[in-house]
């Protein structure tokens, strides 16, 4: 197909731009991706043994308060009424998260009112109360007091970053939400849920148009195949959603990321944790959390194996160049380096950079879709018109 637009990356950003380009400009779109599937990190598949929908790159929960995004995604999928709630294990006991009045009263074996709980937390911040510490450890204590911080935040964060929190910048946790009610709903957005027939089916519908062609297993930087950077840039509009430093062959240096490793554990029981996500706040458990996929979709119980379940344990570490980048480290040095790459990106002819990798930012799914709709309207549409 002779393409009017080439999109590098079949994640939500690229798929949204492709759909808009076809619908609004009648464009012919070629999507390429180095992976063997569409959907980016939101890709999911069905596990035959358990009947669970596996989120291959970790738990993905859709939520938004943006009416434009909510209206848009409902064109391609219906959503379940799933409400995300998280629990954490500390010292052999399970508590609700985020920290709320139930967590506080359970932890202190008390029945504090909201005002009493707030006064207690303020008192437990001690000499750090009202200060603006530079390291994460002291910042956490100043925000929620030492006992709660050390029980639920300190060791979890150390495992996430593989670094003692006293050596991490305070900017990582500008705030720690503490709810002085019994509300343990994780997200506070207007809408949330999971696609009724799975993430992959949702995304397949987004590009179900003969004017969109997808080529998988294709490396944009491999000049032995025709859909490569040298052959395309400047000749046809390109939307690039890969790592921005990789686009420029790391010539200014590498941006740092955290990645996640998963260890799969299968149990001969119908339900192991009783919830979709269980955090582990203590240092003696090497992983940060465990995901039990069956529990995301209780409405599918009749099609799931009642005697088997699958759990993924999640381990966080710093990424190498060969790892899948998940979360930008975003030190001051990284931010400064990204600004240099962003300046170079803005000078690339007919190239629009987007998505978390292309802009060195962490986005939830609704943010990705919103930014893609915006990028099409303000950048891509003009390139197609030209």
Q: Which residues of 61-97 are buried (b: 16+ CB within 10 A; e: fewer)?
A: bbbbebeebbebbeebbebbebebebbbbbeeeebbb
Catalytic residues: 175, 179, 258, 289, 314, 362, 364
User: What's the rounded Cα separation, in Å, for the pair 56 and 203?
Assistant: 15
Q: Helix, strand, coil % (nearest 5) of the chain?
A: 35, 20, 40
Place of tokens 């099609």: 303
Question: What's the rounded Cα separation, in Å, for the pair 318 and 143?
Answer: 26
- Evaluate whether 82 touches 170 at the Cβ level (below 8 Å): no
- Eight-state DSSP code of residue 261: E
Q: Where are the alpha helices (DSSP H) in the chain?
A: 12-25, 67-73, 101-107, 114-124, 136-144, 146-148, 154-161, 199-206, 229-232, 244-247, 332-346, 355-359, 365-375, 381-385
Contacts of 121 (CB under 8 A, 6+ apart): 104, 144, 145, 148, 178
Q: What is the DSSP string of 321-334?
A: TTSPP-EE---HHH
Q: Is the peptide bond before 98 cis (omega within 30 degrees of 0)?
A: yes
Number of H helices, E strands in the chain: 14, 16
Render 42-110 in DSSP notation, one character per residue. G-EEE-TTT--EEETTS---EEE--HHHHHHHTTT--B------EEEEETTEEEEES-BHHHHHHHTTS
């Amino acid at each position: 197909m002779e393409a009017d637009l080439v999109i590098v990356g079949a994640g939500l950003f690229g798929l949204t731009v492709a759909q808009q380009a076809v619908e609004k400009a009648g464009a012919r779109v070629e999507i390429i991706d180095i992976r063997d599937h569409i959907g980016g990190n939101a890709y999911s598949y069905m596990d035959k043994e358990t009947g669970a929908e596996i989120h291959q790159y970790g738990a993905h929960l859709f939520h938004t308060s943006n009416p434009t995004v909510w209206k848009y995604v409902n064109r391609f999928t219906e959503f379940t009424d799933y409400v995300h709630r998280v629990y954490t294990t500390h010292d052999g006991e399970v508590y609700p998260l985020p920290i709320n009045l139930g967590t506080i009263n359970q932890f202190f074996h008390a029945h504090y009112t909201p005002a009493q709980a707030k006064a207690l937390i303020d008192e437990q911040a001690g000499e750090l109360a009202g200060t603006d510490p530079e390291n994460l450890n002291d910042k956490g204590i100043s925000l929620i007091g030492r006992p709660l911080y050390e029980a639920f935040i300190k060791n979890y964060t150390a495992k996430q970053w593989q670094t003692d929190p006293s050596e991490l910048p305070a900017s990582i946790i500008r705030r720690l939400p503490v709810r002085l009610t019994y509300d343990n709903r994780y997200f506070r957005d207007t809408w949330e849920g999971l696609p009724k027939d799975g993430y992959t089916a949702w995304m397949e519908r987004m590009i179900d148009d003969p004017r969109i062609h997808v080529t998988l297993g294709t490396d944009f930087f491999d000049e032995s195949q025709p859909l490569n950077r040298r052959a395309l840039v400047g000749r046809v509009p390109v939307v690039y959603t890969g790592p921005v430093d990789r686009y420029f062959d790391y010539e200014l240096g590498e941006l740092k990321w955290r990645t996640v490793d998963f260890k799969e554990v299968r149990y001969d029981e119908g339900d192991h944790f009783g919830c979709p996500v269980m955090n582990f706040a203590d240092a003696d458990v090497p992983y940060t959390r465990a995901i039990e996929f069956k529990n995301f979709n209780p409405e599918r119980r009749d099609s799931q194996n009642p005697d088997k379940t699958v759990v993924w344990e999640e381990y966080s570490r710093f990424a190498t160049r060969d790892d899948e980048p998940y979360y930008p480290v975003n030190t001051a040095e990284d931010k400064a380096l990204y600004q240099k790459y962003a300046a170079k990106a803005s000078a690339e002819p007919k190239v629009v950079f987007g998505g978390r990798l292309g802009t060195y930012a962490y986005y939830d799914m609704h943010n990705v879709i919103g930014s893609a709709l915006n990028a099409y309207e303000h950048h891509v549409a003009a390139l197609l018109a030209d």
